[in-house]
Amino acid sequence: MKNHLPGVFSVSHLYSAILRGDVSCLAKAITLSESEKPTDQKKAGALLTQLLPHTGQSIRLGITGSPGVGKSTFIDAFGKYATSLGKKVAVLAVDPSSEKTKGSILGDKTRMEELSRDALAFIRPTASRHTLGGVAEKTREAILLCEAAGYEIIIVETVGVGQSETAVHNMVDFFLLLQLAGAGDELQGIKKGIMEMADGVVITKADGDNEKRARQAQVQFQHALHLFQLPESGWRPRVLTASATQKKGIADVWKMIEEFWKTTSSSGFFEEHRRQQQLIWFRQNTETLMRAKMLGSKKIIQQMKTLEQKIKEGKIIPSVAAQKIIQSL
Amino acid sequence: MKNHLPGVFSVSHLYSAILRGDVSCLAKAITLSESEKPTDQKKAGALLTQLLPHTGQSIRLGITGSPGVGKSTFIDAFGKYATSLGKKVAVLAVDPSSEKTKGSILGDKTRMEELSRDALAFIRPTASRHTLGGVAEKTREAILLCEAAGYEIIIVETVGVGQSETAVHNMVDFFLLLQLAGAGDELQGIKKGIMEMADGVVITKADGDNEKRARQAQVQFQHALHLFQLPESGWRPRVLTASATQKKGIADVWKMIEEFWKTTSSSGFFEEHRRQQQLIWFRQNTETLMRAKMLGSKKIIQQMKTLEQKIKEGKIIPSVAAQKIIQSL
């Protein structure tokens, strides 16, 4: 990333280039917003504030699924379908472990071979280093930058480590869970807390021998989802099957998302949900920064460690320990 | 609660009275810990620290379910069954709305008629007023106080408003979801996020005409729970049916909890889980106090309101707004 030299571009230059849809300047602006240098941060803040009136017009789509579910292949096929409709598609990948695996899991454009060669598509992994508590705060800014550059479908992909799904769920309009039909009529276990976030589930690799199992899985999921209350959105999550390699069911996924958009737009949920997400972003970011400020003190970190040890040994109750920290601030 | 006059009892008096199992002093100590007066807080902290070596030996049981599920009746029957085994049972009710409904939903001992007359039982609603962010931080302290007083089963009941289930889930060993079979073969919808917290589900009111429906619901839940990965505890959640009025299935619920305890104790999960909960308590409480400190400033509150308004109007991005707050601290 170092060769981007984000510092040498002025805010006004980036502003007009992004509005023109200049991909290279979009990439530079994302790098700028990810930078930890205070001067870069200030520039990124100014740029984003100026671009703000030009954001918001996309559909923001979160996609999650365990490794092996065929996420890259699905996004490749889905993205190609969307660009075939003339839509500009951006893929942002949230990978909390990207520091360790850089270049292997993410950043590797060969993961989405067809889409990465498509002029209407923009693919960008976003690292999450140093964002204590917020796996993907910077991804929210990247979404806004992509929107300003005219992207109409923003896919935020998460590999599903730690709290990344919750973070992504909080920044998208529609949350899609990809799931594999298991061997026999068993399903591959779902990670705790995921299913209830989903606005839609797609059983992947529904082709060949697997097609029957995929349909069985579809029925099982539909039953399970019916156990839940109708979500606030008023949208009853749907379960579809798809084969990315055979390009089957991909159009139906898009149709589902469009229907979701129509339903929730006319009810007013869509806009209200986004407003709430903005406020959540504000509050979470305030707390993240506050925590970072607190943990910027070596003395406090040392005190926390000592207190945690005492808690483990049963020598102090946590609420009293917390008071001690606050008194030291 | 005012007639308790907690201030007039010395810490050492309360300490020995609680260890003797004095119910009236236990109630006073809980009131003391709930008080917001700094002197009371200090005394409560000292008392809890002294009592700490005498805590931890109970099984902590969270019970949740929507209104109408028969929670009071179930807890009444379950508690009576436990006291019939010679166990001392404490019931703590977490009610985020208790300020408004005091005396109606909670605090009303007629809700658990039989149990409230049982010498082995202690019933206590805990209000949650003024605990920003933490619905039930004080309940954690009440659990410790009850344990010091010799209670072996601590039931933490939640009415399921807002984030109270998550809070209760974070403070108990076993989380039990009560659920009603719906009309026909429909289930009453489950609140988002609840099912995946449950270590056990009990379909209530499984008697008379309802019995068949309850069994159907049991099967549906069992299927749904099998979609999930085996939780960290290694314990596969079970689904039972029970009738509190006919005292059917109550013993099985206790048997399930005992089995859970045996399984997770021998694997080491039980103790490790409690250690983790202590650390979570510490971190959450630190953040709650930090937030309270921040919001103790009228200037900051005013600034937050102004910024939230600007965010709603699309004039500032949340991350820039958050930075402004931090700069003002």
Say whether residue B45 is in contact with chain A using an 8 A CB cutoff.
yes
Inter-chain touch A282–B321, beta carbons under 8 Å? yes
Within 8 A of A167 by CB-CB distance, chain B residues are none
**Beta strands per DSSP E along chain B:** 59-64, 89-94, 121-126, 153-158, 174-180, 200-204, 238-241
pLDDT tens for each residue of A103-137: 334 444 567 889 999 999 999 876 555 443 344 67
User: Positive or negative CA dihedral for B164, B168, B174, B178?
Assistant: negative
Say whether residue A275 is in contact with chain B using an 8 A CB cutoff.
yes
Within 8 A of B278 by CB-CB distance, chain A residues are 311-312, 318
Within 8 A of A196 by CB-CB distance, chain B residues are 192-193, 195-196
Which residue among A221, A278, A315 places its CB closest to the CB of B311? A278
Residue positions counted in chain A: 329
Nearest residue on chain B to A230, alpha-carbon basis = B189
Examine the predicted complex and report whether its ipTM is higher than 0.85: no
Residue A308 has pLDDT above 60, yes or no: yes
Q: How far apart are CA B316 and CA A187, in angstroms?
A: 45
Q: What is residue A243's predicted lDDT score, i.e. its pLDDT?
A: 96
Place of tokens 């909390």: A96
Say whether residue B327 is in contact with chain A using an 8 A CB cutoff.
no
Residue A276 has pLDDT above 60, yes or no: yes
Say whether residue A326 is in contact with chain B using an 8 A CB cutoff.
yes
The shortest C-alpha distance from B131 to chain A (Å) reads 12
Inter-chain touch B322–A282, beta carbons under 8 Å? yes
Instruction: Give strand pairing partners of B201.
Output: B177, B239
Q: What is the mean pLDDT of residues A292-312?
A: 91
Question: Of B317, B324, B325, which to mutate for an interface test with A (greatest number of A Cβ within 10 Å)?
Answer: B317
Q: What is residue B36's predicted lDDT score, i.e. its pLDDT?
A: 81
Distance of CA B83 to the CA centre of its chain: 20
Q: What is residue A162's predicted lDDT score, i.e. its pLDDT?
A: 62
Within 8 A of B308 by CB-CB distance, chain A residues are 279, 282
Window 190-249 of A, Cβ < 8 Å to B: 190-193, 195-196, 220-221, 223-224, 226-231
The shortest C-alpha distance from A70 to chain B (Å) reads 19
Q: What is the DSSP string of A125-167?
A: EE--TT-SS-TTHHHHHHHHHHHHTT-SEEEEEE---TTHHHH
Q: What is residue A185's predicted lDDT score, i.e. its pLDDT?
A: 45
Say whether residue A276 is in contact with chain B using an 8 A CB cutoff.
no
Window 135-164 of A, Cβ < 8 Å to B: 137, 140-141, 144
What is the token pair recorded at B95? Answer: 């009610």
Inter-chain touch B279–A193, beta carbons under 8 Å? no
Q: Tell me the percentage of chain A whose pLDDT exceeds 90.
A: 61
Nearest residue on chain B to A181, alpha-carbon basis = B227
pLDDT tens for each residue of B250-305: 999 999 999 999 999 999 999 999 999 999 999 988 988 888 888 888 999 999 99
Say whether residue A294 is in contact with chain B using an 8 A CB cutoff.
yes
Task: Kindly give, in sequence order, each residue whose CB lies less than 8 Å from that of residue A309, ignoring residues fewer than 6 positions away.
Answer: none
Q: What is the mean pLDDT of residues A23-29?
A: 95
The shortest C-alpha distance from B122 to chain A (Å) reads 23
Inter-chain touch A227–B224, beta carbons under 8 Å? yes
H and E: helices and strands count for chain A:
13, 7
The shortest C-alpha distance from A297 to chain B (Å) reads 15
pLDDT tens for each residue of A184-216: 444 556 776 788 889 999 999 999 989 999 999
Say whether residue A291 is in contact with chain B using an 8 A CB cutoff.
yes
Higher local confidence (pLDDT), A94 or A15: A15
Strands A89-94 and B174-180: unpaired
Per run of 10 residues, the mean pLDDT along chain B (length 329 residues) is 57 96 95 88 93 96 89 95 97 64 47 91 73 63 97 90 80 95 60 83 94 91 83 92 96 98 96 94 89 87 95 92 90
pLDDT tens for each residue of B132-141: 334 467 899 9
H and E: helices and strands count for chain B:
13, 7
Residue A65 has pLDDT above 50, yes or no: yes
Q: What is residue A122's predicted lDDT score, i.e. its pLDDT?
A: 96
Q: What is residue B130's predicted lDDT score, i.e. its pLDDT?
A: 46
Separation in Å, CA A93 to CA A29, A154, A192, A204, A253 = 16, 10, 21, 19, 20
Residue A231 per-residue DSSP state: P
List the strands of the sheet with A59-64, edge to edge. A121-126, A89-94, A153-158, A59-64, A174-180, A200-204, A238-241
Q: How far apart are CA A267 and CA A264, in angstroms?
A: 5
Mean residue pLDDT of chain A comes to 86
Say whether residue A278 is in contact with chain B using an 8 A CB cutoff.
yes
Contact A328, A300 (CB under 8 A): yes
Q: Which residue, among B69, B93, B68, B89, has the nearest Cα to B80 in the 3D structure?
A: B89
Contact B203, B240 (CB under 8 A): yes
Contact A241, A206 (CB under 8 A): yes
Q: Which domains does chain A have, with CATH numbers?
A: 1-54 (1.20.5.170), 55-267 (3.40.50.300), 283-328 (no CATH)
pLDDT tens for each residue of A222-272: 888 888 778 889 999 999 999 999 999 999 999 999 999 999 999 999 999
The shortest C-alpha distance from A318 to chain B (Å) reads 4
Separation in Å, CA B98 to CA A329, B26, B65, B105, B115 = 33, 21, 17, 8, 21
Inter-chain touch A314–B187, beta carbons under 8 Å? no
pLDDT tens for each residue of B225-257: 888 778 889 999 999 999 999 999 999 999 999
Inter-chain touch A323–B189, beta carbons under 8 Å? no
Q: What is residue A103's predicted lDDT score, i.e. its pLDDT?
A: 39
Phi, psi of A61 (to 5 degrees): -120, 120
pLDDT tens for each residue of A132-154: 334 467 899 999 999 999 999 99
